[in-house]
Chains A and B, each alone.
Chain A
Amino acid sequence: MPLDTIGTFSVSRLSILDETGKADTDLMPDLSEDQLIYLYESMTLSRMMDARMLNLQRQGRLGTLPVCTGQEAAFCPAILAIRDTDWFVGSYRELGARLMRGETLMNALLLFNGYEEGNVNPENDRTLPISIVLGSQLPHAVGLAYASRLKGEKDTVALTVFGDGSTSEGDFHEALNFAGVLDAPVIFLCQNNQFAISTPREFQTRSETIAQKAIAYGIHGIQVDGNDALAVYQAVKEAADRARQGEGPTLIEAVTFRMAMHTTADDPSRYRSDDLVASWEKKDPITRFRKYLTKEGIWDDDRQTALEARIKSDIDAAVKEFEQGVEIKPDAPFDHVFGTPAQIIEDQRARFLAELEKEADHG
């Protein structure tokens, strides 16, 4: 019996902008000046809001918070590359992506101060709320993509975002497998930010890349420089185009770095060196993109100053509104147990309200 090679596989990596902001013109995506500026502004908004929220948390004015600074190029361009009518099924570390999907600054503050109301996207009813349990949102994207096809929306795709840690979850495997078998138009965008809390990427998997895992499921897979906004845009755009044309799912590994802590409850100095962090600072995605835009003559210091002033003022206004206090309906959780009335729930609501009143009376 001969020993034959029955398959050979390769994994590609896409990079368009180098660290100096120089673009590979052959690979340049088809983006207008307005789109490029919108993308840059969105990434900057994400960075500034992230910083402000971290600041508020440190002052005790916000609850525990996941921080996404450094990863803006790994998620913002993906939103530009899909349509509002596509599904976005996120995780919890892509603030800028959510803002681009119509999330309000106010809602971001609400959610991380403990109000479910912050999960409601007022602009887009195809954006799922944040998902905390790692990888569990991936199968949802597969189902949404399948539902769109079955309902005759030939042009709709689903984009889901997750981290490198999630690729160890069973749901990652199950979702990629289902997507392949069902030929679902879905894009799996992995934010490989090198650490799952303290656990480095190489402890999650012996695979050299996450992108190569696509091969095992018979779907497209590619690695991109996740700090390169243009490369991420291009990879997601190509995946979306393929999915729309009925060519199935894609796994994209965006290689990036979580510049700050996992959440505000985490101390990254326990598990990674300053040198490592410093080496990634040189690759900062926003700085790099700004250099490119400046070289192209579509961005300058004046525009930068104006942008930062505008964003600061928007954030100030949202924080002010938020701190004026939010009127909440204390018994709202009883409204959303079931979609039909249930006596046992209503009895408990009455008990809850009566207890609240007693608490108020007796302090």
Chain B
Amino acid sequence: MAKINMVQALNTTLHDVMEKDSSVLIMGEDVGVNGGVFRVTDGLYEKYGRERAIDSPIAESGILGTAIGMAIGGLKPVIEMQFSGFSYEMMHQLEGNASRMRNRSRGQFSVPLVVRMPYGGGVRALEHHSESKEAFYAHTAGVKVVIPSSPTNAGPLLRAAIEDPDPVIFMEPKRSYRSFKESVSPKDYTIGRAEIVRSGEDITIVSWGAMMRDTLKAVEMIESDTEFSPEIIDLLTISPMDAATIVESVKKTGRCVVIQEAQQSFGPASEIIALINDQALMYLEAPVKRVTMYDVVMPLFAREMMYLPSKGQIVRAIRETLEF
């Protein structure tokens, strides 16, 4: 089977879903004729024309606001924020309307739409193009937040997001867009469920997005001189979080490290540690560690690799937790 990268996986999925379901459309800045600045929507305009592959005016609130109407009206819009750093223009439509319409109308209306957005650092980009703000979206009741980590899970998760009855923020780690390929075999993924990518006994390691790949490499580095049995969990859905999978794992291993690309405070890593505190504290044999960025404005690219969690940091955190 031919190997594909994440962009190809997402693109193939969009082609497939739009072919099977005429209510699905894409809309965003440069997603049509240009196929998206990362080419995730390549070829859709040629197949479906401007009616279902809409090059929108440059207005993120307008894009989401219009998509909310489309979704209530029976379509399934998959909109693109060109970079997550531009998505703050749409935050009031997300918090004020997309997330609330189901509750506000007591279920009379729902807003099944997907907001795709490339996010994250490590690609030597301009300001506003490197942040990881999943906590912004996850802190909103009624919104689901999904982050794939590989060509294998990106496609099925995007499909699940499009089929989901709720607004889904689908954050694509752009550092992983083209950095590796996989032979993709069909596999089911459910929104709200984390994946145990490797079963083990000694320590639970949780990560998501681009950090997943670094985490797997860090584990390999440790294994080159140390025998240990890690249980590695790919979170995949930030919200609603799959607490059970994490808690069960920690009950088994008694140790846990969480690796998050975002800044330290108020993020998913903090939430995971709080859940462990609530439900598995007495099983712990070591404090739960987190490896994160710092609470600073994301530096431009001359400094960004100093600030993003490194494989070395992940290795050290795992070793310290194992040896505690």
A182 touches B104 (CB 8 A): no
Q: How far is the CA of A138 from the CA of B68 in the complex (A)?
A: 11
Q: How far is the CA of A324 from the CA of B287 in the complex (A)?
A: 55
Interface presence of A144 (CB below 8 A)? yes
Chain B nearest CB: distance from A83 CB in Å? 15
B71 contacts across to A, CB distance below 8 A: 143
Chain B nearest CB: distance from A25 CB in Å? 39
B69 touches A344 (CB 8 A): no
Interface presence of A298 (CB below 8 A)? no
A337 touches B73 (CB 8 A): no
Among residues of B, the one whose C-beta sits closest to the C-beta of A339 is B165
Q: How far is the CA of A344 from the CA of B97 in the complex (A)?
A: 22
A362 contacts across to B, CB distance below 8 A: none
A128 contacts across to B, CB distance below 8 A: 72, 105, 109
Write 18 A-B pairs (CB below 8 A) sorted by A numbering. Answer: A119-B105, A125-B108, A129-B101, A131-B97, A139-B62, A140-B66, A140-B72, A144-B72, A148-B73, A170-B59, A171-B62, A171-B65, A175-B62, A337-B102, A337-B142, A338-B166, A340-B164, A345-B240
Taking A151-B75, A173-B59, A178-B66 as known contacts, 10 extra A-B pairs with beta carbons closer than 8 A to each other, sorted by chain A number, are A120-B106, A128-B72, A138-B65, A140-B65, A140-B72, A171-B93, A174-B62, A181-B56, A337-B102, A343-B240
Among residues of B, the one whose C-beta sits closest to the C-beta of A174 is B62
Interface presence of A87 (CB below 8 A)? yes
Interface presence of B141 (CB below 8 A)? yes
B52 contacts across to A, CB distance below 8 A: 150
**Residues of chain B in range 101-132 having any CB-CB distance to chain A below 8 Å:** 101-110, 112
B112 contacts across to A, CB distance below 8 A: 339
Convert A322-341 into 0s and 1s, putting 1 for each residue whose CB lies closer than 8 angstroms to a CB of B. Answer: 00000000001101111110
B191 contacts across to A, CB distance below 8 A: 340
Residues of B in contact with A (beta carbons under 8 Å apart): 23, 25, 51-52, 54, 56-57, 59, 61-62, 64-75, 77, 92-93, 96-97, 101-110, 112, 141-142, 144, 164-166, 191-192, 240-244
Q: How far is the CA of A89 from the CA of B243 in the complex (A)?
A: 38
B66 touches A142 (CB 8 A): yes
B57 touches A177 (CB 8 A): yes
B164 contacts across to A, CB distance below 8 A: 339-340
Chain B nearest CB: distance from A75 CB in Å? 20
Q: How far is the CA of A115 from the CA of B101 in the complex (A)?
A: 15
Partner pick for A129 among B59, B105, B166, B241, CB 8 A cutoff: B105
**Residues of chain A in range 40-57 having any CB-CB distance to chain B below 8 Å:** none
B105 contacts across to A, CB distance below 8 A: 116, 119-120, 128-129
Q: How far is the CA of A153 from the CA of B92 in the complex (A)?
A: 30
B57 touches A178 (CB 8 A): yes
The 10 closest A-B pairs by CB, nearest first: A143-B69, A139-B65, A147-B73, A174-B62, A339-B165, A342-B240, A140-B69, A143-B70, A336-B103, A143-B66
Q: A139-B62, A337-B142, A338-B166 are in contact. Are A343 and B106 (CB under 8 A)?
A: no
**Residues of chain A in range 174-198 having any CB-CB distance to chain B below 8 Å:** 174-175, 177-178, 181-182
Q: A142-B69, A174-B59 are in contact. Are A117 and B75 (CB under 8 A)?
A: no
Residues of A in contact with B (beta carbons under 8 Å apart): 87, 89, 116-117, 119-121, 125, 128-129, 131, 133, 136-148, 150-151, 158, 170-171, 173-175, 177-178, 181-182, 332-333, 335-340, 342-345, 347
A342 contacts across to B, CB distance below 8 A: 192, 240
B142 contacts across to A, CB distance below 8 A: 336-338
Q: How far is the CA of A335 from the CA of B107 in the complex (A)?
A: 9
A158 contacts across to B, CB distance below 8 A: 69
Chain B nearest CB: distance from A246 CB in Å? 14
A171 contacts across to B, CB distance below 8 A: 61-62, 65, 93
B66 touches A87 (CB 8 A): no
A175 contacts across to B, CB distance below 8 A: 62, 65-66
B102 touches A336 (CB 8 A): yes
Among residues of A, the one whose C-beta sits closest to the C-beta of B244 is A343
B69 touches A147 (CB 8 A): yes
Chain B nearest CB: distance from A187 CB in Å? 14
B75 contacts across to A, CB distance below 8 A: 147, 150-151
A178 touches B104 (CB 8 A): no
B110 touches A339 (CB 8 A): yes
Q: How far is the CA of A177 from the CA of B66 in the complex (A)?
A: 11
Q: How far is the CA of A336 from the CA of B165 in the complex (A)?
A: 12
Among residues of A, the one whose C-beta sits closest to the C-beta of B50 is A182
B65 contacts across to A, CB distance below 8 A: 136, 138-140, 142-143, 171, 174-175
B73 contacts across to A, CB distance below 8 A: 87, 143-144, 146-148, 151
A332 touches B106 (CB 8 A): yes
Q: How far is the CA of A141 from the CA of B75 in the complex (A)?
A: 14
A119 touches B110 (CB 8 A): no
A151 contacts across to B, CB distance below 8 A: 23, 73-75
A178 touches B62 (CB 8 A): yes
A144 contacts across to B, CB distance below 8 A: 69-70, 72-73
Q: A136-B96, A343-B240 are in contact. Are A174 and B74 (CB under 8 A)?
A: no
Q: How far is the CA of A148 from the CA of B106 in the complex (A)?
A: 23
B66 touches A146 (CB 8 A): yes
Looking at A116, A140, A144, A148, which has the most chain B CB atoms within 10 Å of its CB? A140
